[in-house]
Amino acid sequence: MKDKAFETKAIRHQAERTNHREHSVPIFATSSYIFEDAEHARALFAKEVEGNVYSRYSNPNNDEFVQKLCLLEGAETGIATASGMAAMFISIASFVKAGDHVVASRSVFGSTHQILTQLLPRWGIGYTYVDGIDLEQWEQAITPETKLFFLETPSNPGLDILDIKSIAEIAHKHQILVNVDNCFATPYLQNPIQFGADIVTHSATKFIDGQGRTLGGAVLANRELIDEVMFLSRHTGPAMSPFNGWVLSKSLETLAVRMDRHCENATKLAEYFLNHPNIPTVRYPHLENHPGHELAAIQMKKGGGIVTFELEGGLQSGQKFLDHLNMISLSSNLGDSRTIATHPASTTHSKLSEEEREAVGISPGLIRISVGLEHIEDIINDIDQALDQSF
């Protein structure tokens, strides 16, 4: 039988119906489950039979969400978490112990930076940052204790494009796992496993939800690796609520439609910035002037919903610009149906030192736009009037 398309998988995969034969899967708002008898309970806990034991372990809504994501990412199995950062943490911590070492691209989200630089060292786990674009640096950073490579592509907020296939080849030559944060691209635009990644992590809070309603995360990999993640998750408890699992599973049904519009709007906005006299730098993966343009065209179906730009006048002009926006929201979130403007240096990446921000291209005047689903003319008009008042 011919394999179904992305959109069909996202819409048609559902948990098993109950006796009510509902068309839309209900919310299984339960903390626990009834066993058929004592032997059934024993067999469930011994993992001799499949089934739900406790919603900290699994729940039909969360299972449906994860199964859909796996279909869309090309992963064998996975686990849902209460937030994106819960997913990031357990997808790293599950594979390292005291004395081990992680190599990570320097351009990572602010909270991921804190995990690598502040939390893991408490337990004797070392890290090395590399310029993720420079393949030689990945190779040179490996030590006998290195167990994991971690990277974002496109990166937050600099939109660096990293070569997943080449990085994975380096890692696997040394029996090192590769973990890719696929938040910005979503499974609709990019499938890291296809290029050799072992683990894919998501903040489902962003484009997967797409409407700023809920928190959630996911870790996807093969069954052997997810067994390790499941052990840590079961005993530390970063479980997704059934309601959030239900919401996010529904959100996946419209992911393709929404991402098409995000990408269309983002492309038009990036092209507008290219022609603006007070914007010396604009970054968008599918612009021809982006240094990773050719690689992005291979790895990503489209350029994504994030555009970053630099304002003449630095921080002062950036603050004026943000303060003069009328329609566009000021928020640290992204991936919403509503367009959002963010100043990374003072918000999402404020815990980095000035030198660390400079090393990953976060200047005082950098603005990140998460381009929403409004009409593109309204987005551009709001930005245009704010820019007029910023200089």
Cα Rg, the chain, nearest whole Å: 21
Structural domains of the chain ordered from first start: 6-252 (3.40.640.10), 255-388 (3.90.1150.10)
**The pTM of the whole model exceeds 0.75:** yes
Residue 188 to residue 6: CA distance in whole angstroms: 7
Q: Is the pLDDT of residue 132 over 90?
A: yes
Q: Residue 277, exposed/middle/buried by CB under 10 A (0-12, 13-18, 19+)? A: exposed
Q: How many CA atoms lie within 13 A of 102 on its CB side?
A: 29
- Among the ranges given (108-112, 214-218, 381-385), the one the predictor scored with the smallest mean pLDDT: 108-112
Are the C-beta atoms of 272 and 307 separated by less than 8 Å? no
Coil, strand or helix at 192 = helix
Phi-psi region of 262 (alpha: psi -120 to 50; beta: other; left: phi over 0): alpha
Coil, strand or helix at 308 = strand
Give 266 or 332, the one with higher predicted confidence. Answer: 266
The DSSP-derived string for 316-339 is HHHHHHHHH-SSSEE-S--S-SS-
Q: pLDDT by residue (tens digit) across 231-259? A: 999 999 999 999 999 999 999 999 999 99
pLDDT over 70, % of the chain: 100
Q: Is the pLDDT of residue 178 over 80?
A: yes
Coil, strand or helix at 358 = helix
Coil, strand or helix at 190 = coil
CA 356 to chain CA mean position, Å: 21
Averaged pLDDT for residues 174-186: 98
Q: How confident is the model at residue 1 (pLDDT cuts 50, 70, 90)?
A: low
Only one residue has tokens 């969400």, namely 65
Coil, strand or helix at 149 = strand
Residue 186 to residue 37: CA distance in whole angstroms: 42
Nearest to 255 by CA among 190, 200, 192, 198: 190
The continuous run of DSSP H or E covering 366 comes out as strand 366-370
Give the relative orientation of helices 376-388 and 314-324 as an angle to the nearest 10 degrees. 130
Q: What is the pLDDT of residue 273?
A: 94
Q: pLDDT by residue (tens digit) across 51-70? A: 999 999 999 999 999 999 99
State the maximum Cα–Cα separation within the chain, in Å, rounded to a whole number. Answer: 74
